[in-house]
Structure 1
Amino acid sequence: MTNTIRMLSTLGLMGAMRSLSSAFEAASGIRVDADYAPTLALLKRLRADEAADLVILTREGLDEMIAERRVITDGTADLARSYVGIAVLAGQVHPDIATEAALRRTLLAARSVAYSRLGASGVYFAQLIVRMGIAAEINAKAAIVEQGFTAERLVSGEADLAVQQISELKQVGGIEVVGPVPHELQTPAVFSAGRMANAKHADAADRLLRYLASPDVVPVLRQSGLEP
């Protein structure tokens, strides 16, 4: 057993994990050294053999790591479901995004739309606007965020709308979440945790994994905009 474990986590769980890590540290005496980035960026780092004990990725990303034998098959757990949402600067009128037609009008009317290049939400949104037939118009005025929180572009005045996982939008102050993209247009992302095959501190990582998969964490997940 060690008093520090290394965790790499997708940005989608950053808000929840900051609180959950503190609770785990207080109960276990094990420190969590956490680093947060979009799933695609984390996959690249893991394939470059960056060391970690536990990872939290999209389910698809975790399955890739299992297939490559970087994560052990029987050391995983699905933690939370997350929907992509739209946000505006605090105090601004909330646009209509209740239907596909309303969302289309809202996106086309915006001066600029901020979305992520590397995150699961950005990959989804890029595909969505192609499907809706408005990719050229939106991308011509988009504020593309390489990695980080798209809602920061609302605060800086670079965009009128920000698109990202609701749990990520809620990490930025001074903004308001309008709501999720219509559910019929999206498949929720599932965030899952897994213990690395070459974990230096496997027992401690397994202990954290059991905690994250327990009912104790449900209120924190919901508060951060996630569904357990």
Structure 2
Amino acid sequence: MGITSNRAGPGVTQVTIDFPPVNAPPVQGWFDLASAITAAGDDPETRVVILRAEGKGFCAGVDIKEMQRATGHDALIGANRGCAAAFGAVYDCAVPVIAAVQGFCLGGGIGLVGNSDIVIAAQDAYFGLPEVDRGALGAATHLARLVPQHLMRTLYYTARNIDAAQLHHHGSVYEVVSRDKLDKAARALADEIAAKDTRVIRRAKEAINGIDPQPVHRSYRYEQGFTFELNLTGASDEARDAFINGAKNA
């Protein structure tokens, strides 16, 4: 369990998220994910990274229970910095990152997928930001990379989800496959990229990031500032407590 890396084939490194039951990594898990992705990109033998997950869903975001168990603001600060590190590692990875998504992709999962280079999704995959229902803000930066502006705002304000087929329609999901073919589809695309001259692909990644109109690091940190403000008002604790109590009673 946790974050693991393995060589999935020539030039392909696979990084796997595995935090049962819902892949909501604790604070350290986000930093471990950032380290694994950065290390993969820094490895000259790696030409492509596949980011995947075990279990029924890709990622449910941060571990809210860890945050509510903690005293003070260390867990909140840790989660925010950990997410920023992991999202940034995906974006800054020296080689292309393919996200292979099944089931739920929520909260922090959107940050990972939104910063990936390519997204392949299972037919059962769905994506959303429940942040406003949890007393937090963040990852609108990354949702805006997946859907048009007005749709992003609708999804953000309502905390509704959008499925893989809809994202495929918008062009942000490259391919939708049955769940049993997800890893195979991600690997096939990774192998195609890995067969190319890695010197060119690495420069291509750097060049594409360099012309990106959205400053993803800065805009996400800007969003996080409002989450801290909501925590100071008490709104965030109330929302998180309501979520945890609701989960217990479900």
**For this structure pair, what is the TM-score category when the shorter chain's length is used for normalisation?**
under 0.3
Instruction: Give the structure-2-normalised TM-score.
Output: 0.25
Bigger strand fraction: 1
Higher relative contact order (CA 8 A, sep 6+): 1
Instruction: Give the structure-1-normalised TM-score.
Output: 0.27
